[in-house]
Amino acid sequence: MRERRHPLVLSVDAIACDGHGVCAELLPEWIRLDDWGYPIVNPAAVPPELLDRARWAVSNCPALALSFRPAPSAIAAAAASAQRPFSGLASRTP
């Protein structure tokens, strides 16, 4: 059975990032650098065909500032599937 994967987005910890630019060199389709050399990451979910290269960029960030997080749609879907109808006690009136 094939494992179901949730969409992922790349996230940069702006405080940890030193602006080395390795991420943009490894994944120029998804990350560009601003005028000071800090990454600007596409906020959309990383497409499946770029995931391996995105993982390579995350693992090669010298400052460990690049990471994955679930896409907002994946978070919403997980929260919706976790919700269950309330089956608590009926309220009592004196």
Q: Under a CB-based contact definition with an 8 Å cutoff, are residues 63 and 57 in contact?
A: no
Residue 2: what pLDDT? 47
Q: Each residue of 56-86: pLDDT tens digit?
A: 999 999 999 999 999 887 555 555 555 555 4
Domains of the chain: 13-75 (3.30.70.20)
Q: Each residue of 17-64: pLDDT tens digit?
A: 999 999 999 999 999 999 999 999 999 999 999 999 999 999 999 999
The structure's pTM equals: 0.72
Distance CA 66, CA 11 (A): 6
Distance CA 44, CA 75 (A): 14
The label of the residue with tokens 């919706």 reads 80
Using alpha carbons, list the distances in angstroms from residue 33 to 4, 72, 75: 32, 24, 28
